[in-house]
Structure 1
Amino acid sequence: MTFASLFSGCGGFDLGFTSSGFRSKGAYDLDPEAVKNFRSNVSEEICCTDLTNGIPNEKSLKDVDVIIAGPPCQGFSTAGKRLIDDKRNHLLTLTGTLALRVSPKVLIVENVSGALSGEHAKYFKALDEMMKDAGYLTRTLRCQTSDLGMAQIRRRVLFLAWRTKRNADFETYLLPASNLRKVLAGACKQKNHRPTPLEPSGKDALIAKRILPGQKLSNVRGGKNAVATWDIPEVFGDITEHERTVLELLRRLRRQERARDFGDADPVSIRRLEAALGEPFHHLLEGLIAKRYLRRIDDTVDLVGTFNGKYRRLAWDKPSCTVDTRFGSPRYFLHPSRQRGFTVREAARIQGFPDSYVFSGGEHAQYRLIGNAVPPPLGSLAANLAKQLLGNGL
């Protein structure tokens, strides 16, 4: 069975197919760092090219069984700006156009679940209609990587199109989720493991000391899993109990008194605060603005630091949250018990890469490649479905 991959990245999708018995007829990506790592760890048969100009020597892919593709997801991701006209969104439909020029028996495309929501779903719908018009049957699957036995919560979508007159068991096989304790055991003995402890007296370390497993730094959420900046006076400054009352009230009101139809909170009007606190509250507001806990926006007031979670400390006995391109930064993700972020090897293991895959280049680029990759176990699931659609499955 043969396959070729478009938007290959560093090869996570490809690893899932080669480990399942498929033979590669080619891979294509524009990122030089991805191509370099792919060539060193997966196969030398990869071409560094801009696929908007077409597949180089596409005739070589004639009679290929499967085309797999992982077009960029940043324009669809809920972690980004989700611009409807992001140029990268159009690469999803370009994938269909390129595939039809080769006419594989099976096409499998991976992307984030956000590609199916809101206005952005028009791109997936266009891909689906394109393949159906060409005589393919189609199916879209929502996948959760923890259901594949991985130690990561990562929601993804697999789009399948086939013209083999066969079918597959599209009910994904549910396996117990793994956890960080299991997946990181022994990582310290492998390559790409270079821990960088936080400077003990630095701001990051002082914040990290106050964040327990399962917690994050967040001013906009309450509860035991959110640590507010005002809970860390050694970094952000002391406040009085009256000032704390104002901050916590504002945290509640900014989600209740909505002025916009987007986002999940808004600044709170002075009038609303006055109604809740009474006239003598003004000096508290001014004090909190001076201490840089609050900011004034016209006739409203809002918290400083309205991010929904930084310095997230993951827990040993649970799966990781989604591994993204920032996974090496302790300002976003903290090791369960160490005062540091995650190493490249740890990120790679959580993402399902084998220890035999040795990443090269700058560390920033390595984290980016890992965060953007299709997890190899998800690639293996796709390969198993492809086998069934080709008549070679169980």
Structure 2
Amino acid sequence: MSELSFRMGELFSGPGGMALGARRAAKAVDGVELTHSWANDYDLDTCKTYRRNILVPEYGETVKVVRTSAELPRAGGGIVHQNVHDLDIDGLGGIEGFAFGFPCNDYSLVGEWKGLHGDFGPLYSYGVKVLASKSPKWFVAENVSGLRGANEGRAFSQILRHLQHPEGGPRYTIVPHMYSFDEYGVPQRRQRIVIVGIREDIDVQFRVPSPEMYRHVDVTAKNGIDSPPIDLYAPNHEFTRQSQNVVDRLSHMRPGEHAFSPRVVQALPEYLRIRTKTTLSTTYKRLEPDKPAYTVTGAGGGGSHMYHWSANRALTNREKARLQTFPDDFVFEGGKDSVRKQVGMAVPVNGAQAIFTALFKSFAKLDYPSVEPNIDLATIVTPR
């Protein structure tokens, strides 16, 4: 195996946004080879999507979704459908690279924001266990922007400290940065913290890629969805049958407005007004065609599905997948609600590609434009 040949493992893999971005980056950087050794997710449809789009092109149709790490082929190539609590991490194969987008539910600004005290907050620790067990050369970890403030900042400090020095494992030099993915070729305002780590004994320095390299990309919602037009029979492009009330409500809204915009509240007939305790600004919100979309989400009740700037309807899952920069031939498995969740929880492909391209260029000793991290590690983590 050459120095720049990486076997990659993933926890909380999602449908494959991170994996596809890494694959594209490896192909774009001369001398880098990447194989997807193993992955894990708790959701069966998500595992099937990852298998179909990430593993089958690499290993063929014989690749499987398995129930335990012991069932993974020794040569690599498989995804484990299992709750991470039950996953035998030591039984996973060796890797040189590791990626994990640990669940964000308890760090999201929308919700109770329980941080480390929630059911999902401590799940980052399984990524730390992989670092200790497998000692990969690099890792990429992703989470929501709300991670910085959870538990008055203590959660973020603890997570960074554990990633720097996993108990029983090697030390890592880490570079946390708040990425706004609309600055990296994604037609969507999606801010996420991404932490890139490189093992301390390796003479490689990662630098945050400069958004200047992506200024030429048209990241408006209209361009993302309509250029080129989506084939009517494209996969995952089923249109929602909107009720007449939804159609009537949307007809009173202009691009960028939502159900609680002052002008809309005044214009809506009494029977169409939304009466809830919370007044989220994304409720029935129309996209603005000449600006990046607001953040694609994976769940939510009525009025939370993202709405077209001119048509009186919600976006299809295929349109949302375009906003996440998945190609139209990337087929999501499962029913509409399952696909909605997968699309909303995924890492945007173009965003992942930008970060992995910088990472692989760092290993290949190739220069690239960079910026200083916007998260100052020294002010967050106290050296031991």
Q: TM-score, normalised by structure 1?
A: 0.75
2:230 is aligned, of 187, 211, 214, to 187
1:178-227: CA deviations, max 9, x gaps? 1122111212442221223524xx22121111011111111xx64xxx52
Match of 2:51 in 1: 39
By how many angstroms is 1:306 displaced? 4.1
Change (3 A) 1:385 1:100: farther
Change (3 A) 1:56 1:92: closer
By how many angstroms is 1:173 displaced? 2.8
Question: Following the alignment from structure 1 to structure 2, what is the Cα–Cα distance between the partners of residues 366 and 155?
Answer: 22
By how many angstroms is 1:8 displaced? 0.4
Match of 2:13 in 1: 8
Match of 1:30 in 2: 42
Match of 1:308 in 2: 280
Question: Following the alignment from structure 2 to structure 1, what is the Cα–Cα distance between the partners of residues 306 and 87?
Answer: 38
Question: Following the alignment from structure 1 to structure 2, what is the Cα–Cα distance between the partners of residues 304 and 203?
Answer: 17
By how many angstroms is 1:344 displaced? 1.0
2:176 is aligned, of 112, 125, 140, to 140
Say whether residues 1:169 and 2:207 are aligned partners. yes
Higher Rg: 1
By how many angstroms is 1:305 displaced? 5.0
By how many angstroms is 1:30 displaced? 1.3
Say whether residues 1:97 and 2:97 are aligned partners. no
Give 3-state SS (helix, strand or coil) of 1:142's partner: strand
1:124-150: CA deviations, max 9, x gaps? 322322233342111101100100121
Identity %: 23
Question: Following the alignment from structure 2 to structure 1, what is the Cα–Cα distance between the partners of residues 300 and 349?
Answer: 18
CA contact (8 A) 1:192 1:345 kept: yes
1:374 is aligned, of 333, 347, 372, to 347
Give 1:107-146 correspondences, 5 Å limit: 107-119=139-151, 121-133=153-165, 134-146=170-182
By how many angstroms is 1:37 displaced? 1.0
Q: How many residues align?
A: 320
Q: Which runs of 5+ in 2 are unaligned?
A: 27-33, 56-62, 64-77, 368-384
Match of 1:284 in 2: none
Question: Following the alignment from structure 1 to structure 2, what is the Cα–Cα distance between the partners of residues 347 and 236?
Answer: 26
Give 3-state SS (helix, strand or coil) of 1:334's partner: coil
Question: Following the alignment from structure 1 to structure 2, what is the Cα–Cα distance between the partners of residues 27 and 138?
Answer: 22
Change (3 A) 1:24 1:207: same
Question: Following the alignment from structure 1 to structure 2, what is the Cα–Cα distance between the partners of residues 144 and 312?
Answer: 21
Match of 2:60 in 1: none
CA contact (8 A) 2:175 2:206 kept: no
CA contact (8 A) 1:167 1:388 kept: no
By how many angstroms is 1:158 displaced? 0.7
Match of 2:360 in 1: 387
Question: Following the alignment from structure 1 to structure 2, what is the Cα–Cα distance between the partners of residues 57 and 372?
Answer: 27
Give 1:151-170 correspondences, 5 Å limit: 151-163=187-199, 164-170=202-208
By how many angstroms is 1:391 displaced? 3.4
CA contact (8 A) 2:12 2:103 kept: yes
CA contact (8 A) 2:186 2:351 kept: no
1:48 is aligned, of 81, 92, 96, to 81
CA contact (8 A) 1:145 1:152 kept: yes
By how many angstroms is 1:118 displaced? 4.1
Match of 1:212 in 2: 254
Change (3 A) 1:149 1:338: same
By how many angstroms is 1:160 displaced? 1.6
Match of 1:336 in 2: 309
1:45-96: CA deviations, max 9, x gaps? 21112222344564522xx221110111111011122123112110123311
By how many angstroms is 1:364 displaced? 0.4
2:332 is aligned, of 351, 359, 369, to 359
By how many angstroms is 1:319 displaced? 0.9
Change (3 A) 1:304 1:71: closer
By how many angstroms is 1:18 displaced? 1.4
Paired amino acid for 1:308: L
Paired amino acid for 2:224: V
1:299-331: CA deviations, max 9, x gaps? xxxx86541331101121111000001489655
1:357-392: CA deviations, max 9, x gaps? 012211001000000011111221231232134335
By how many angstroms is 1:236 displaced? 4.7
CA contact (8 A) 2:9 2:36 kept: yes
